Structure 1
Amino acid sequence: MRRFSPRGYGHDLQHDAAWLQSKITGANRTPFWLDSPARPAPRPALSGDARADLVVVGAGYCGLWAALIAKERDPGRSVIVLEARQAGWAASGRNGGFCEMSLTHGEVNGARHFAEELPAIEQVARANFRGLEQAIERYGIDAEYENTGVLVVATEEHQVDSLRAAAQASPDPDSRFFDRDQVREQVNSPLYLAGRFKKDGYSFVHPAKLAWGLRRACLDLGVQIYEHTPVRGLVRSSRDVQVRTDGGTIRARKVTLATNGFPALLARNEWFSVPIYDYALMTQPLTEAQLEAIGWTGRHGITDSSREFHYYRKSADNRILFGGYDAIYHRGGKVRGAQEQRPETFLRLADHFLSTFPQLQDITFTHAWGGMIDMSTNLVAFHGTAMGGHVAYSAGFTGLGVGATRFGAETMLDLLEGDETPRTRLAMVGSKPMPVPPEPLAYPLVQLMRRAVAKSDARHDGRDTFLLRLADRFGVGFDS
């Protein structure tokens, strides 16, 4: 039934494909988080013209945070949120629920691009993370928030020393290094060669419940939310910005754009990020005996150390979400619903899961889904203004949006208000990533980078290929 290899992961299946298919055939293609009776009924679409002090385009995390914080700063301000589908239906309701403090995709990537201001970035990142926790408590948001830490595991020999060094250098008092025997006492997988536990700045949420809770908090503060109202364009007049939709036009004093990787309403942002699709599986709820069989009795999450990496965590009812590895850029660079399903990736994820935990061969997967990530070339979000300072934007969160979108929302509001703050003083905020070439060049270039990443992971020493080292010189990164 299976041809298990104890060495790492790969693109070739280690188990029989028909057997793997039996594990996912009945899986619901709706994201697990959105497949919930708690999902709120949709708000009505906009019908008719209106005016507002602030219009927020997009009701994912970034847009909802922007609307909420705008009302907190000025309760008398009129705020309208426009959403093309329903609040939280895209990336905000599909992600793994890993809520990280980092704004720079990790310290190493931050040092690569913003070395001189890392202490300042750390300060605002910590304040942002604390603000997110406080808002969840203040508004009574049932986001299943857990501050339980992450176990980073080595599945290749060359990863062991780097985990040991990182654990020793970390100021996190909970940072610990585990050798092979110790890590398997934490979680028992035949693939684990070492591990590092870290807790400071690593939490978990139920992604959709966080979005729905922010939506409710906005409504309670008087924000008007119109769903199923796609924005068709922005037109600057002498006194305001006209936000045009199929149902009417809103004249706004200020506008924030929180549209993630969807087609930019500003031409200047068209090439600063690309839509990369990520995929995940969710198991059936595991019994106590099954969890004890794999030794995963804690509530921490797990990731591996490869550039093509997996992330996995438990739900409140002890299912295991298992995602990552494949980061797919679809030819043409369009955002399409059909791309949320990729059978070959679901098979690969099932194969990798059962290689990680061969003790769980009897389980099945109840949900299989995908979603779009707005990836920038330096793996860091970008922010700015347009139309004479009346429009602000924030995008390119590259998989870290659960926490970093709140920073993006506050930054947009700071820029619109013309305030100098610890956020707006950052060079990180004023910089832009290297643009992505348009099609037909983008697709072959992304595939070339993916092959280079896979080749680097496969090397016995994990050393970057020449292409990755060359890309790094130009400030271009790529991870799964």
Structure 2
Amino acid sequence: MVLTVFERSVPDASAVSAALEGSKLGSFWIDSVARPRYTPLEADAHADLAIVGGGYSGLWTAILAKERDPKRDVVVLEGGRVGGAASGRNGGFCEPSLTHGRANGESRWPHEIDRLDALGSQNLDEIEATVARYGMDAEFERTGGITVAVEPHQLEWLGEDALDAAAVRSFVDSPTYLGGEFDGEGALVHPYKLAIELARVATELGVRIHERTPVRTMTGTDLVTKVGTVRARQVALGTNAFRPLLKRNRLMTVAVYDYVLVTEPLTEVQMASIGWEGRQGIGDMGNQFHYYRLTADNRILFGGYDAIYHAGGHVRREYEDRRETFEMLASHFLTTFPQLSGVKFTHRWAGAIDTCSRFSPFFGTARGGAVAYSLGFTGLGVAATRFGANVMLDLLDGESTERTETDMVRSRPLPFPPEPIASIGINLTRRSLNKADHREGKRDALLRTLDAVGMGFDS
């Protein structure tokens, strides 16, 4: 077994403890912004289009629906607070890919990957244009991104435009970097600001939003809540990792928990020690990978690596504070940036990702075409949820579009097995991914089998 760089260069345990001491359990993004309130549903209601979920999927669907038809009566029902789940807890990487990276998309839809990439780029451009058109304060930055190799075998995975270690370290200085690639297309956002700005724009367009209104059941297109029923002509479902209202989707996604740390703002001296003048988002190339970025006030957000599945796939608050994972992330951070020894983390948190077996969203309709859904974004939904919103509206409107004619949109991933097989399989797969990272990327029989049946875990 080959030790990874994070095992070869381990910081002192006291430094890890000191860095985490005093950190608050909660999303930095949500803490940094005043939270607007929307009243709960109080009685029965009617709508042309009812949307379940007040995150990116639901809010983009609401805005695009009103832009397509300003007279359409649209209501959004959110079980908690707008943007309070994945939309306010992610890293804020706004990526063009609809397929969780080109390699994943090319392995599944090689005949249309160029088309899907073009649609993804168009979608990101349209997000940028929407932010500008409505004057949305979302800290949108078109910074591009850097993929870094931190192990020798990862250098072989770099493309034609690979950079050597010196070139990568001229962008951002870490002793762990052996090479990398720069992609100038991606963007960064303040994810919670994006969510609340989407809600603001939606309401200004005439959308009604009701928070703290969980939908218990769906009968036809009637959405039943604790206080009343919303009778809608059409329904769009953007429930992310929460329990799907359609039985057909109950085994299509699993909730996997992702963990994140955020530092205090770096001083000018600390910033000078790492460079990072271009503010690019960064991800490394392990099967278990880290992602990290700068905030507007020069904090570093550092997350990923230790994706955790809890038996039963439930979304529960008690899963958000996992000390061993936060200690591991803090250790890996100090390995990545030893020159930042002494920095403190102010926030630590976690959130559930709606993972599907193909790592990219799937779509469909039910109830005679009156209900549409978009699910399974697997951690890359900041931008792709807008594409999914357009797909849902295309399907509800009965339109044949360039989006709906793709095999990606017309196909469904394989379902996960029921419990307890799901827990056994997912945890065995996590073990195999860890083993691959310790065997120079070599995938064992389990991973090769999953690759062959279309459930390959390659990122």
- Return the TM-score normalized by structure 1: 0.93
Which runs of 5 or more structure 1 residues have no equivalent in the other structure? 169-175
1:94 aligns with 2:86: no
* CA pair 187-13 structure 1, distance change in 2 beyond 3 A: closer
Counterparts of 1:47-446 in structure 2 under 5 Å?
47-163=42-158, 166=159, 168=160, 176-200=161-185, 202-236=186-220, 241-446=221-426
Distance across 2 between alignment mates of 1:186 and 1:223:
43
| Superimposed CA distance per residue, residues 44-66 of structure 1 (whole angstroms, 9 cap, x where no aligned partner) | 10011111100000010000000
Q: After TM superposition, give the deviation of residue 230 of structure 1 in Å.
A: 0.2
| Superimposed CA distance per residue, residues 93-133 of structure 1 (whole angstroms, 9 cap, x where no aligned partner) | 00000001111011111011111122321232222112111
Q: Would you identify which runs of 4 or more consecutive aligned residues in structure 1 move more than 6 Å? A: none
- Per the alignment, residue 31 of structure 1 pairs with 27
| Superimposed CA distance per residue, residues 435-473 of structure 1 (whole angstroms, 9 cap, x where no aligned partner) | 10111111111111011111111113x222221111100
| Superimposed CA distance per residue, residues 394-444 of structure 1 (whole angstroms, 9 cap, x where no aligned partner) | 100001100100011010011011110111111111211111011111111
Query: What amino acid sits opposite 2:298 in the alignment?
Result: N
- Per the alignment, residue 457 of structure 2 pairs with 478
Segment drifting more, 70-79 vs 153-162: 153-162
Query: What amino acid sits opposite 2:179 in the alignment?
Result: A
- Cα pair 1:45 1:247 within 8 Å, conserved: no
Q: After TM superposition, give the deviation of residue 6 of structure 1 in Å.
A: 9.7
Distance across 1 between alignment mates of 2:365 and 2:268:
52
Counterparts of 1:1-12 in structure 2 under 5 Å?
7-10=4-7
Distance across 2 between alignment mates of 1:365 and 1:470:
40
Q: Is the partner of 1:116 in helix, strand or coil?
A: coil
Query: What amino acid sits opposite 1:9 in the alignment?
Result: F
Which runs of 5 or more structure 2 residues have no equivalent in the other structure? none
- Cα pair 1:330 1:443 within 8 Å, conserved: yes
- Cα pair 2:49 2:236 within 8 Å, conserved: yes
Distance across 2 between alignment mates of 1:29 and 1:99:
24
Q: After TM superposition, give the deviation of residue 152 of structure 1 in Å.
A: 1.1
| Superimposed CA distance per residue, residues 217-264 of structure 1 (whole angstroms, 9 cap, x where no aligned partner) | 00000100000000011112xxxx211111211110000000001001
Distance across 1 between alignment mates of 2:253 and 2:134:
33
Q: After TM superposition, give the deviation of residue 479 of structure 1 in Å.
A: 5.3
Q: After TM superposition, give the deviation of residue 7 of structure 1 in Å.
A: 5.0
Q: After TM superposition, give the deviation of residue 15 of structure 1 in Å.
A: 3.1
Task: Give the length in aligned residue pairs.
Answer: 458
Q: After TM superposition, give the deviation of residue 298 of structure 1 in Å.
A: 2.4
- Cα pair 1:56 1:80 within 8 Å, conserved: yes
- Root-mean-square deviation (CA, aligned residues, Å) is 1.5
Q: After TM superposition, give the deviation of residue 17 of structure 1 in Å.
A: 3.3
Q: Is the partner of 1:9 in helix, strand or coil?
A: helix
* CA pair 397-37 structure 1, distance change in 2 beyond 3 A: closer
Distance across 1 between alignment mates of 2:247 and 2:21:
42
Distance across 2 between alignment mates of 1:16 and 1:332:
36
Among all aligned residue pairs of Structure 1 and Structure 2, give the percentage whose two residues are the same amino acid: 52
